[in-house]
């Protein structure tokens, strides 16, 4: 571990101890630096080495592979239609064709253009829906894993009578995990602060402070699919 990392960890622990003691002194005057029990865990290591994380990654990779296979099949279908379109367009321009045959070929070209457009729209819709599904799948997997890890850490904190347990790995910044992954409930003085904030609250709120009755609906712009080749 580098000197900078060690200093950062020492600062983090010192800061948490100071906050814990100060808060404990406000809510529970008996609290002291000697009585505070501080713990630390590496959330990054817990996450990366947890067997369920590795199992979830394997499952996610399988879902991605299935998506890519299905997507490639749809692209192949589109390419096949495009080849048919190019062939029909060349045939329709043959000067040796009779007027009747030329009209038949032109109709076939127009029909193939419609097929191409539908195929292209289907590919794009599949890409959009699959991307959304994979993003949601990854989020659900990570949320479930992190919840299980945090539950285990917090149970350890309660069972071991810890005052505070901090994440010493800095993993929380990217994963949305607080620096203090566990804190004794006695340190929480939310109600005390809220009582002070509302001490001078008026009997009824002025109209300027009231929230709007309704929120405007977000505007939506329809997606325009890319056009298929023109005949």
Give, in degrees to the nearest 5, the angle at Cα 192 between 190 and 194: 65
In angstroms, what CA-CA distances link 197 with 111, 191, 202?
A: 70, 10, 12
pLDDT 10s digits, 24-69: 443 333 344 457 899 999 999 999 999 999 999 999 999 999 999 9
Domains of the chain, residue spans:
3-199
The arithmetic mean of pLDDT across residues 198-211, rounded, is: 75
- Condensed to tens digits (0 to 9), the pLDDT of residues 130-148 reads 999 999 999 999 999 999 9
Q: How far is CA 57 from each of CA 139, 145, 201, rounded to the nearest angstrom? A: 12, 11, 51
pLDDT band of residue 156 (cuts 50, 70, 90) is very high
Statement: residue 214 has pLDDT above 60: no
Whether the Cβ atoms of residue 21 and residue 31 lie closer than 8 Å to each other: yes
Give every strand in the sheet of 38-41, ordered side by side: 38-41, 164-167, 180-183
Q: What is the pLDDT of residue 179?
A: 86
Q: Does residue 170 carry a pLDDT above 60?
A: yes
5: left (phi over 0), alpha (psi -120 to 50) or beta: alpha
Mean pLDDT rounded to a whole number for the chain? 78
Q: Which residues does residue 164 pair with via DSSP β-bridges, in sequence order?
A: 38, 183
Q: Do residues 167 and 12 make contact, with C-beta atoms less than 8 angstroms apart? A: no
Closest CA to 16 of 38, 41, 43, 44: 38
Gap between the Cα atoms of 153 and 174, Å rounded:
19
């Amino acid at each position: 571990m580098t000197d900078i990392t060690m200093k950062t960890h020492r600062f983090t622990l010192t800061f948490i101890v100071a906050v814990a003691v100060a808060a404990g002194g406000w809510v529970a005057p008996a609290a002291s630096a000697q009585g505070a029990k501080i713990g630390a865990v590496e959330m990054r290591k817990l996450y990366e080495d947890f067997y369920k994380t590795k199992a979830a990654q394997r499952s996610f990779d399988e879902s991605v592979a299935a998506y890519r296979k299905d997507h490639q099949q749809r692209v192949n279908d589109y390419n096949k239609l495009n080849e048919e379109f190019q062939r029909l367009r060349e045939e329709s321009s043959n000067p040796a064709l009779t007027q009747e045959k030329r009209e038949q070929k032109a109709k076939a070209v127009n029909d193939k253009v419609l097929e191409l457009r539908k195929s292209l729209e289907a590919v794009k819709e599949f890409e959009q829906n699959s991307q959304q599904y994979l993003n949601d799948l990854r989020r659900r997997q990570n949320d479930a894993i992190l919840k299980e890890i945090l539950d285990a850490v917090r149970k350890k904190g309660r069972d071991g009578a810890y005052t505070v347990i901090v994440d010493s790995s800095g993993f929380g910044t990217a994963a949305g995990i607080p620096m203090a992954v566990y804190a004794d409930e006695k340190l929480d003085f939310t109600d005390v602060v809220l009582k002070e904030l509302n001490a001078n609250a008026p009997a009824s709120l002025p109209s300027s402070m009231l929230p709007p009755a309704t929120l405007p609906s977000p505007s939506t712009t329809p997606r325009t699919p890319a056009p298929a080749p023109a005949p």
